Amino acid sequence: MIDTKDNYIIIDKEFSREIAKQLLEINAVVLRPKNPFTWSSGWNSPIYCDNRLTLRYPAIRKKIYSHMVKFIQKEYPQVDVITGTATAGIPHAAWVADSLDKPLAYVRAKAKAYGLGNQIEGGVDKGQSTVVIEDLISTGGSAVSVIEALQFIGGNVKGVICIFTYGFAKASEKFERLGIPVYCLTDYKTLIDVALKEGHIQKSDIELLNAWRENPEEWPK
């Protein structure tokens, strides 16, 4: 069942709760509302997400790419290429491409300064359709740069599929401007609800967590 939230689409509402619970269990997502992290951007954050940890758990990573595969088979069965974002999206994209028997590409943050100077590896030809696989969407900058690189060479980007999104308005606006739909396995709101139910946070933490999500650049005031 597809569930639409905040200009992105949750692929399967039931699975979104299941995978949120597992991300919390393996510490791929850690919540510290009273002892926040500092991101590289300088933002204070009550949450830290490292979906690379899913690579250590075969059963979890298989659930992730299997749900992506099922969705692509249903919505984009004729897609030509599966594209991963470097670096965290590459392994998931590889499993998806292998399951679908499709070509695989990935896009670097910037073109190499040596050799052929490629930014897009594996290759997407002009006119070919592709779905972008991303592990995490925060501000949306990395996924947007991948989309723009693919569009620059004439690739037809159908959509982005990610494991987790914070659901920031800033990111939604970027994808809306490009006209690219974003599909997610789970999101911040679902994760917080699951975290409360599973005892990772207390009810008294909810106000802090909601305030951060609404205004992360200035949190906490």
**Whether the Cβ atoms of residue 100 and residue 66 lie closer than 8 Å to each other:** no
Is the pLDDT at 3 greater than 90? The verdict is no
Q: Which of 57, 72, 82 is nearest to 157 (CA)?
A: 82
- Do strands 29-31 and 47-49 pair parallel, antiparallel, or not at all (unpaired)? antiparallel
pLDDT reported for residue 112: 53
The share of the chain scoring above pLDDT 90, in percent, equals: 86
User: Confidence band (pLDDT; 50, 70, 90) for 221?
Assistant: confident
Cis peptide before 85 (omega within 30 of 0): no
Please write the tens of the pLDDT for every residue from 191-207.
Answer: 999 999 999 999 999 99
Query: What pTM, to 2 d.p., does this model score?
Result: 0.93
